[in-house]
Amino acid sequence: MGFADLFFSGQGRAPRLPSLIAAAVLLVLAAFYEALVGATLHWITGWVVYPALFYAGACVLSKRLHDRGRSGWWAALILTSVVAVWPHPSGFLDFAFFLVLVWAFVELALMPGEQGANRYGLNPVMLASA
């Protein structure tokens, strides 16, 4: 699986390392965009940049969630949590969103994918080693 498929398709499964690299790339791109663009230009270009980042993020998260045997729709909760706490959390509700992000980190970054095939496809690690 190439990175284009990882960023632009929500179908199938993705192994842990490529998913983590893709998520890091998206977060760095968002941080650079926030740091480099002024307030006026941010308001104009944000309508293009943020939907593209969200779509790519949803695809990456969906594939990794599929690898764990979860529905890709959980990506909506994870992305909502990222938006709620970006760039810094403040308030009780943000604490709840932070807990969602902790769960997502443990579930998607630390836990291995399901062994063998699941309803979303074959194990991508076993496909790569075959």
Tell me whether residue 3 is in a domain.
no
Contact 67, 15 (CB under 8 A): yes
SS (H, E, C) 6-37: HHHCCCCCCCHHHHHHHHHHHHHHHHHHHHHC
Nearest to 19 by CA among 68, 52, 91: 68
**DSSP-assigned letter for residue 126:** H
Range of the domain at 83: 11-129
Tell me whether residue 2 is in a domain.
no
Quick one: how far is CA 7 from the chain centroid?
A: 9
Q: Model pTM?
A: 0.88
Tell me whether residue 1 is in a domain.
no
Task: pLDDT tens for the chain, 130 residues: list them.
Answer: 688 899 999 999 999 999 999 999 999 998 899 888 877 788 888 899 999 999 999 999 999 999 999 999 999 999 999 888 877 777 778 889 999 999 999 999 999 999 999 999 999 887 666 5
Counted domains in the chain: 1
